[in-house]
Structure 1
């Protein structure tokens, strides 16, 4: 098994070393990845499943995950792609089955954040993704751009438009919390 080290040189790793490295990444990033997926989906079990599936893909292809410039960014991209794919399937299913509304409270997540996430689901997906990753998952504009495979200027535009739409959907105090909340890690 080989994967690139920080200096760019390939390194050979034993199965135990790969497992140890993936476990370290899991422990260090799981909560942030779930938060990013939850901000996108609004469904905690769905977000957890998407992140778990991303880690399963990393286990199936450890060389690809570990050779990435940022294994966390690679996992985040995979998890969000899984969440989007599941969302598309769920939209089709929702036409057949009536879903219950999202919970009004979740442990560790304030009511303002839940209101923000509910309002975000009314935005175009590209704007909601940018806001979720930048404001709720606390990624820089450049990290969001890399994750979504687009330019930083595109992300800035999506953020401006998404925030303008949220300002119309939320009361002033809740909207102010978008910038004022500290992200739990």
Structure 2
């Protein structure tokens, strides 16, 4: 009795698109790094990416046929992060109304880059993370964020200016990779 390998399995790769296991194996860690840079908490970033892949799994037959299935997973992770921020903000506002407590700012043990990224507006922070860590082009970021490419260029310019000033005040390492937030081009060629 011979059985077909991968018969009707959601992880099989065929004409309908890439297999789930392959996308998960090759992109989980890079998505975690992107979300960690955005939220500043490694376990939260891992949870957000895991949640995105968990939502993709039961729909993979449909998602695998998209032009870029990874973009769907990334968008779900980013949306989950945004929802997390809204929930935290609401909870923080509720707590502030309940008691009069002064919350101290970040301690000195914080990494300067994480603090500098956290000070950026959400759009700018997201553009920087997607451009430098996800290595998306300006046009890909614009599509992912639902804005015009000129808006992304503006976000990147403003973010680099803010980061250059903020990081010049302290001794910090620049992010790894070929680019630094203080310089470089906003254009990237697409292969």
SS in 1 for 2:136: coil
SS in 2 for 1:82: helix
Q: Which residue pairs with 1:53 in the alignment? A: 51
C-alpha distance 171-54 of structure 1, shift in aligned 2 (>3 A): same
From the two aligned structures, give the one with the greater helix fraction. Answer: 1
Q: Deviations over 1:59-86 (max 9, x none)?
A: 1211332122111111111101111111
Report which of the two structures shows the higher radius of gyration computed on alpha carbons. 2
Structure 1: gaps of 5 or more residues = 1-12, 106-113
Cα distance, 1:175 vs. partner? Answer: 7.7
RMSD after superposition: 2.8
Matching of residues 11-22 of structure 1 within 5 Å: 15-16=8-9, 18-20=10-12, 21-22=19-20
SS in 1 for 2:67: coil
TM-score, normalised to structure 2's length?
0.72
TM-score, normalised to structure 1's length?
0.74
Q: Which runs of 4+ in 1 moved over 3 A?
A: 97-105, 172-176
Structure 2: gaps of 5 or more residues = 1-5, 13-18, 97-102, 179-191
| Greater relative contact order, per chain length (Cα 8 Å cut-off, separation 6+) | 1
Write the distance in 2 (CA, Å) between the matches of 1:43 and 1:103. 17
